[in-house]
Structure 1
Amino acid sequence: MAAMAAAALVVALAVAGCAPTPTVHDAAVAGNGGDFAKDTQKQLQDAVTAAMTAAGASGAIVGVWAPWAGDWVDGLGTQSTTTKTPVTTEMDFRVADITRAMTCDALYHLAGDGRIDVDKPVSSYDSAYPDLRDATLRQLCDGTAPIGSYRTMLGATMADNPTRVWDPNELVTYGLGQTIPPSTVTPYHDADAGYVLVGLVLERVTGKPIAQILHDEVFAPLGLSSTALPGAKPAPPHTTGTALQGFNSLKDAKGAWVCDKPADVTDASASLGASAAGVVSDIDDLGAYVQALAKGTLTPKDAKRYASPKPVGADTPTWYTAAGGVYRAGSLIGQYGSVPGYATAAYSDPRSGLTVAVVLNNSGAGASIAQDLAFELAAIASKAPAEKGKDAPAAGLPWTAQQYADAIAHSAICAPPSK
């Protein structure tokens, strides 16, 4: 394991060493600098603890920043169910589908420099996919191109073989093999293969590997020193420190969840996610990143990246839409997802600065539990009293903390211990 981690770190350093010197923005999370009131912090901690129990996660790392009220950044629990090693905020973890937003950041950043046109069809840059001759790069990031999800077909195989190295072209092919059902409600669909294809097109245009592109166009300009796309070889998600161990709860022969002995998938290959879900980071970098994402720091002002938001589904609230590789939930902008071992979510309000980032170290319950937790934490923090001399945001969120606490309880795969 140590050798693999070292190799991954060497790759990251090599990428950093050969990249041009970028304009670096402030990488610090713009928060309050002080602590939340004790009552608010207890509510936040109780919410995370309940979500950990529901997901079968032994550990979580969380950051909540409310400029008018306080900050809370903490590691909760232990590295696994069999160790007493505490989780710390310095640990790295896989950010899952938040990688999609980063890949689209790189696309739009390159477009702003005139090196690529987001409204040209994929075939203008790569003729290997004739089925996408009319689909544009913008549509790939919007989730409206005729390409689907490779994990729909490969999810079980990936979970059973987390160390297998996958070719990104193969992942795209599986995505193209998915039939996209026609919809009169929304053209949006969850298409991870589309973001992998964006990465392949960027490689073709720049002549660089996607890991270096993300470093040069996103991580370095934002000063994210603990964020990288690792190599494809199986390795724990180290960039600069130790990794939060990742687990996946499985079902037994009778279909019951086995929560006390989850499968350790810490060493899963980043190729499982590639430019759709392969990046690793830490909590401070993730908070800084999603704030920059929400503010559009790397997106040219005339790019119209979020100009055509689409409903995420037929039954989702009108305040929940998708565009440009991100979700907009009320005033929050961000992403969420899961990969073997981790469920992660990060959202930020570009006006108030309210920012939430969280990772649970068990992917058995899927991605939604991380998003539900992020929304619950945001609702709690949004109601936090303002410090003297500061004003709380006038507008609230279109949901309550209790709504998402109930959603987490409903989606629980692991019951709380009996008293």
Structure 2
Amino acid sequence: MRPARRLFPALLALSTLTPLALTTPPALAAPPAAVRPSVDTEHGLDPALAAQLDQAIEKVRQGAGIPGVTVGLWLPGRGAYVHSAGIADKVTGAPMRSDFNQRIGSVTKTFTATAVLELVDGGLVGLDDPICDYIDGVPDGEHITIRQIAEMRSGLYSYTFDPDFQQALFTDPTRPFTPQELLAYAFKHDNVFAPGANFQYSNTNYVLLGLLVEKVSGKPLADFIRERVTGPSHLDRTFLPAGAEFPDPHARGYSNQTLTGAVEDVTDWNPSWGWAAGAMISDLQDLRHWARILATGTLLSPETQKQRENFVPVPGFPDAGYGLGLFTTHGWVGHNGSLPGYEDVVMYLPEQHATMVVMLNTDIVAQGEEPSTLIARAVTQIVTPGNVYDLPKEK
């Protein structure tokens, strides 16, 4: 079987993960509501610039073999640009559309981290508390802090690297996984480094944060995110699914992260294996507004947002760093997402108040790079040449 190379860069019950007894949590103060315009009033970009973008996107799309792509840009003082190209369904030839629902992969982490930070603002969680104060059974949990988990410096092994997990997923990609099952795959491995000693992107971290939210709030993660994050942000088409549900309309998703390595339609795979690390669904307009809310800290206190943006260096990422559920690269702030069949880039450029959203219906690497990176780089080379979105190639 081929290795699962990303699964977000994505059984036996876990008896050792025993949460402390739930108590009734104190009521949280409602977060401030994020203002979302009911009608988009931006004018379009200069036609010559829009045509240049059309051509650049199509060149990358064809060169990388991307079936379909949607790009949204909102550039204050310059205009807005929404463009879809290619196909949403290889069988019917239906075109890609900008109103599709989309699996957003690791952009989910931005919502999970925001939920945790709201608990921090409510005085219910401390960023430098050890995870063992909330969840039992975490290897070296007495020394790993909530902050280290959120910023990917816990040293916990990522369950998505585990061969048994990969075999289980790819053998039956429609099966459900529980958070406890996912952590069981991770916790049978030694930690990869001491807490805080290094950086390694690990989906285990965000499954733990999802359980933390449930433990402290006393609510299912999906409910807490809806009530405390997406609801106040007026993100009506953004949610954490219970299973494989995927509302219409949406594009079919194509991947070679399969048992044989052949390209398959993976649209209906069950994303429960990503849960708090990567299972959410959204759409272009919701992601457009979320990019700004995330980067400006609308839902959080200024002090907590400052903690969130304490970006730690990431080896191999020049001019980039990872914070608490978001990253920065060349001035852009936000997150990308990748899971079999779909990729996304959701970024905000504070110095220009600019927003960029990229959505694809494939995750197949081209020339060693994520296809979403290829699109985002080509777009920003044109519209923000001083701030070009870039991530390193896979090795």
TM-score class, shorter-chain normalisation, is 0.7 to 0.9
Gap change, CA 1:230 and 1:282, over 3 Å in 2:
same
Per the alignment, residue 342 of structure 1 pairs with 342
Separation in 1, partners of 2:49, 2:169:
39
Separation in 1, partners of 2:258, 2:224:
39
Gap change, CA 1:369 and 1:270, over 3 Å in 2:
same
The yes-or-no answer on 1:111 pairing with 2:120 is: yes
Q: CA deviation digits over 1:91-137, x for unaligned, max 9?
A: 10111111111110111112112232222111111123253222111
Does the CA contact (< 8 Å) of 1:57 and 1:361 recur in 2?
A: yes
Per the alignment, residue 10 of structure 1 pairs with none
Separation in 1, partners of 2:95, 2:228:
34
Gap change, CA 1:156 and 1:37, over 3 Å in 2:
farther
Separation in 2, partners of 1:284, 1:368:
23
User: Deviation at 1:225?
Assistant: 0.4
Q: Secondary structure at the match of 1:198?
A: helix
Q: Residue type of the partner of 1:336? A: N
Structure richer in helix, relative to its length: 1
Separation in 1, partners of 2:139, 2:158:
18
The yes-or-no answer on 1:264 pairing with 2:273 is: no
Gap change, CA 1:127 and 1:29, over 3 Å in 2:
farther
Cα-Cα RMSD: 3.0
Q: Secondary structure at the match of 1:291?
A: helix
Per the alignment, residue 74 of structure 1 pairs with 83
Per the alignment, residue 230 of structure 1 pairs with 241
Q: Residue type of the partner of 2:34? A: H
Does the CA contact (< 8 Å) of 1:56 and 1:249 recur in 2?
A: no
Per the alignment, residue 13 of structure 2 pairs with none
Separation in 2, partners of 1:117, 1:71:
40
Per the alignment, residue 301 of structure 1 pairs with 302
Separation in 2, partners of 1:34, 1:212:
37
Does the CA contact (< 8 Å) of 1:64 and 1:377 recur in 2?
A: no
Per the alignment, residue 330 of structure 1 pairs with 330
Gap change, CA 1:263 and 1:32, over 3 Å in 2:
same
Where does the alignment leave 5 or more consecutive residues of structure 2 unmatched? 1-27
Separation in 1, partners of 2:354, 2:38:
10
Q: Secondary structure at the match of 1:134?
A: coil
TM-score by length of 2: 0.83
Q: Residue type of the partner of 1:288? A: H
Q: Secondary structure at the match of 2:358?
A: strand
The yes-or-no answer on 1:247 pairing with 2:254 is: yes
TM-score by length of 1: 0.78
Equivalent residue for 1:206, pick from 217, 220, 234: 217
Gap change, CA 1:354 and 1:123, over 3 Å in 2:
same
Separation in 2, partners of 1:192, 1:281:
20
Gap change, CA 1:368 and 1:245, over 3 Å in 2:
same
Q: CA deviation digits over 1:251-272, x for unaligned, max 9?
A: 998xxx86xxx31111121202
Gap change, CA 1:112 and 1:295, over 3 Å in 2:
same
Percent of aligned pairs sharing the same letter: 25
Aligned residues: 362
Q: Residue type of the partner of 1:283? A: L
The yes-or-no answer on 1:161 pairing with 2:168 is: no
